């Protein structure tokens, strides 16, 4: 019963003519959409630049400190054969 009423209500809504669109709506939507796209592009570029800067900083740090190399011994080996 409920589905039939809902289907009938949807059919009535679809049979109506759509409301008129204001004439100044398109330029406003175009302006906002362009602004959103510019912001997304700028944010994406900033993210990539930050990522590349972090990768470059890590590469420089790793080449200078060589964290994979064994650290020098802090004690001297015993002297033998004197």
pTM: 0.58
**CA nearest 7: which of 15, 26, 50?**
15
- Model confidence at 82, pLDDT cuts 50, 70, 90, reads low
pLDDT tens track for 16-54: 998 898 989 999 999 999 999 999 999 999 999 999 999
Cα 75 to Cα 71, 72, 79: the distances in Å are 12, 9, 12
CA 52/CA 59 separation, integer angstroms: 10
Could you tell me the pLDDT band of residue 66, with boundaries at 50, 70 and 90? confident
């Amino acid at each position: 019963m409920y589905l039939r009423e809902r289907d009938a209500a949807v059919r009535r809504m679809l049979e109506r003519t759509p409301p008129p669109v204001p004439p100044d709506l398109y330029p406003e939507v175009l302006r906002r959409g362009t602004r959103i796209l510019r912001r997304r592009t700028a944010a994406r570029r900033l993210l990539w630049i930050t990522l590349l800067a972090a990768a470059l900083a890590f590469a420089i740090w790793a080449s200078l400190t060589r964290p994979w190399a064994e650290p020098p011994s802090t004690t001297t080996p015993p002297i033998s054969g004197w």
